[in-house]
Structure 1
Amino acid sequence: MFEQAPTLMALLSGPEHRFELANPSYRKIVGGRDVLGKTVAEALPDAVEQGFLKLLDEVYQSGRPFRADGIKYAVQPVPGGPINECYVDFVYQPLRGRDGQITGIFVEGADVTDRTIGTELLRESEARYRMLFDAIDQGFCIIEFLDGPHGPASDYVHIEANEAYARHAGIPNVVGQKLREMVPAEADDWVARYGEVLRTGQQIRFEQMLIATGRHLELAAVRVEPPSRRQVAVLFQDVTARKQAEKALRDSEEQFRVFAQTVPNHVWAARPDGLLYWFNNRVSEYAGASSTDLEGVEWTKIVHPDDLKKAAAAWERALTTGAVYETEFRIRRHDGVYRWFLVRAEPVRDEDGTIVNWIGTNTDIEHSRAQAAELANLNATLEQQVQQRTGELMAAEEALRQSQKMEAVGQLTGGIAHDFNNLLAGITGSLELAERRIAQGRVDEAGRYLGAAQGAAKRATALTHRLLAFSRRQTLDPKATDVNRLVVGMDDMIRRTMGPQIAVEVVAAAGLWATLVDPNQLENALLNLCINARDAMPDGGKLTIETANRWMDERAAREREIPPGQYISMCVSDNGAGMPPEVVAKAFDPFFTTKPIGQGTGLGLSMIYGFTRQSGGQTRIYSEVGQGTMVCLYLPRHLGEVFEQGIQAEESAPSLEAAGQTVLVVDDEPLIRLLVVEVLEELGFTAIEAGDGPSGLKILQSDARLDLLITDVGLPGGMNGRQMADAARETRPDLKVLFITGYAENAVVGHGHLEHGMHVMTKPFALEQLTERIKALIEPS
């Protein structure tokens, strides 16, 4: 029984703890060493170094048993050889002779390595899930249906909610609250909507007023699988401001129309190019035609031939310069008679100064002097009121544009709801199963579910990074890059990806300028474009990658919506199916895809567009059905030393001896500080913590030795991480700095323009990546 026992057992005799017995399980845990007849000090020097011999002495001398759970034991069977780590539960039980004196110690225990590692992985996965859950800017909750007095599934309780829930819905501390207790008057309507989602599994999007708080919400709901959980996930945002702006715009437009119809003058509106599109009733009466018939009519057809040249020249100057148009000419009446008018038009501009339309008036000047003076006074009043109304209209349009920007975020909400909640379901489900298996003692099976949870969390991180690229908020690491060298370096990968049916040609421009860009993101963009081209040529074809130097004059730059200047272009073209204009117009929209469900997220092109815009450039698509597609990236020229890929310090991190080296960790999130300090202590560093900018700067300005500063960018206390690092370098010019940042602080870091010795990592990150980055930054002292 002793030899076949699955637990580890050994018998030690005497104060020197000499091995009398040791079963196979014990010999296995100590690396298969022959221990019989030897003392612990002779047989297991690694155990002595880790304090186990001291514990044995205490048990032998005191006569009190010792028990420990989950103790780490680093096994080194051969001195100087490899070290294997394991975790054990064990007990040291003193043995007594007939005279009551201690004669030896019985050792009994079990290898619990799988259980311990599984528990740690479970804890880490739960922390990552919570970080992702609370990072969503929109309100998010999971509700679970309950049976009640009103019938089956007639109520629900909020079982989870993120921090943004209260901000958008106006209801704090919602977790644990039942619907009919929160908003009893509205409960039936909400139960009906979400109950249909639970019953059918069909995702819904809708807008509804939350009467209890006066908030107008835009919502998306999806069932959490499996249906037996009776849960629905809801993602929403407050669109009250957009609704108010739309109403204000409608009211302002209606007021303008009423006013324009009451004045005796002709009032009209034109598009930016001068094409007339709206008229008041005075114009219709004068022309003898309806407003519909007048739309799009060339104004040159109603101007007297002798006045046409003067009127056209003045209009051309106004269109070119954006100045007020004002001149006199004769306009034909419906009976063929021409009358003199003073024609005046004011440009209406948006917030960028671009003309969006013209508001004009025609004043009849063929009256007596007295009538002319009266009309002049009326016209001045009209102009003042038109300007006032125009200002109100512009303000309302600005509010509407802002609300439309928010609505675009709402469209993203609907797009990510299904994918993100599938990931959440995968994470929570895997963690739940892992917890059950561990509780059942089936530890070997827990790893599979923990791996699944890790995979889902990584896919959620990738989705977040794609959304940040689309929103132009991702943290970039721009370097002066030779795009030709980058393309050549990816040539083999691209050819393998394309397959034998597609011919790949690279046309590299001689003397190509450098550009300041994140090379890793540019590689991702190029690979995405090549994969899209491959999918557009299912029967094979030709793919061409071409680079060129580009001088953008005012006209070319205006067409591409970029400043004039020098750019480099990288174009990927194919001779595949091509796209119709309506598809090209939507190609950069988030989650728009022409691929079947499950074969594309619709974020690839929007991610590329966001990346190039954030890099100061532009992306354009040129396509024709049946002829193929070309996608061009335009990036600004950079004058400076070219970044050599493949020699980054991160890729050749030195071996590290951390003795005596100290790292300052500054972050207002205790969990982040805990994780970073754990990594540092595992590497052997001394870690100092601070929770805000002023506290961190106080330490930096002290005499303490500091070899590295690791800091978040967004910090409380009136000083962000970049400001703190800059201030510290006044007295520590060689201090190395690692920024760990979320998407919004990229601008504070300096749009990617970091000083020498400053580096950046994006949250969330794997602890292994953090470890390698720290090793790369701190060389042995």
Structure 2
Amino acid sequence: MSGQKEFNKIEHEKDYDSLKQQIKTLEGKLHKYIEMEKHFYDIQKNAATALRESDNRFKKIIEDVSEISIQGYNEDREVIFWNQASEKIYGYTAKEAVGRKLEDIIIPEAMKDTVKYLHHRWVDHGEKIPSGELTLVNKAGENVHVFSSHVMQKTPFGKEMFCIDIDLKPVKEAEEEKRQLREQIIQSQKMEAVGTLTSGIAHDFNNILQVIGGFTDYLILKQSEKSHGADSNISEKQGDIFGKLDHTSGKNRTISGNLEKNDNEKYDLPSSDNDSGNLFELHKIRKATDRGIALIRQLMLFSRKTIPAKTSVKINHEIEHVIKLIKMTIPRMVNIETNLSDKLLDVAIDPTHLEQILLNLCINAADAMPEGGNIFIETSNATLNNVPSMEPDVPPLSGPCVFISISDTGHGMDKETVQKIFEPFFTTKPIGKGTGLGLASVYGIVKNYKGIIQCFSEVNRGTTFKIFFPAIANTREKQIHQSEEIPLHGNKDNRTILLVDDEESIRDFVSNTLKLFNYRFIGVSSGEDALKVYEKKQHMIDLVILDISMPGMGGYRCLKELLMEWPKCRVIISSGYSEENVIEKCIKIGALSYLSKPYTITDLLNAIRKALEK
């Protein structure tokens, strides 16, 4: 038994040692596991910290983005994130936005159902909302144009959607600026094309009106000669005869059909029942001709085909003068108020052109207020800085200017009408009440003097025209006066005039008129013929009247060759229209003066006498 016990004891010790060894082994494994767990825990802890730091960095980045709006929404479309750019674009602070539904803050009423449907399709079926331009609303209810794209992510808390909105306001403003500039260029090109067309028409019509008006004046002279006796010398009685033509004399006739009196009063016409032959009818023809001349001159003002006689003008004085004229013609229900600057700078402009601008704008203002209202006229000095001119090829207007504003309280105009008002023949007045050339001529005059005119109008809110003219640098500059009229008298020396004009009827008119005043006349139809005739008869030709707008070699080349071959040749240039630089070139190389068609007998004889006296 003792042996058995000993054996059992030995076996038991072996089992204990084995168990101890097993426990020791397990302890080692547990220690390694604990170390491993601790290592994994540190890794996980560091990863979580890194994740949190990354998340904070990401949130800070998208929070600080100043131009791109980023908003986060949960599955219920509730705001969970709202960055600073969102506050700027939509007007809600993050505190005001977070927790509210998307459709309750920035979605327009008409889009709410669509937004809900698209959000549902994305959350439940994974159908992504397409990117594109959207018109949303801000806190003030104003439209906000954005380019919107969307991102969705899954989180332990559900799905989250982030909207990334780029504000398109700067882009839209740039596009609008480009559109306006494009429209200005198109409008300018259209106006220039119309100007080119009208200048061509003006040339032909001026030749026609030259013949009609010229022969009418000639017949008035002949009729007057008969009334004074067949044996009378027309030169001796010319003072009385030219009294019959006073309505056509000179270049400073005011074109203002709105201020016309009745026919007999304006032209001092003889009564149709007196013993004056056909003078009454002839004056009627002359009046109609003058109206045609006025229309053509307005077209030429628009197309810049007239040569302005610039004078240092005091704008306020001209305004006060025009107001006196206007008050005689407009209804008494229309009141005129002024606010004129005391120390207004002077402007270099033809006074008749300034008068035409003021008359047209003020009378149009009165016409817009048939039941009465107010016209406000304001002047002041202004300084402009690179303001775009009315033509693409003209530099911007900068420096001291004189500002004129003419406003009314009339019915106003819509945007489409405002865009057309300076076009020739466009009018809002009833048929027979306007030619459609008033504002076109105003536009042309302002453009001719390198100025700017702007129109602002709203329906039932009235209209305002703003005009800027460059001011004269030296306001003490002497005025440039028009040439005085030279007394008319007959030609006692039998001077010879060579007329170069391709219009036969004009040659006939000038021939008859000059012979009436004892001038000898030679007429040719081209520059080439003029050179041949002058070469043969230079000893007897005292003066050449040269049309510069002719087929063939043209007037300018003919003038150059005449003066090159015969430097003492006296030449007056003439045309129904011409570019200003062509006139200047002709005068620069030796032409004595410029006679604009259609000219009157008075204009013709004055120009001849002045040239012969040089």
Q: Normalising to structure 2: TM-score of the pair? A: 0.49
Whose relative contact order is higher, 1 or 2, with alpha carbons under 8 Å and at least 6 apart?
2
Q: Name the structure where helix makes up a greater proportion of residues.
A: 2
Task: Write 1 or 2 for the structure with the bigger share of strand.
Answer: 1
Larger Rg: 2
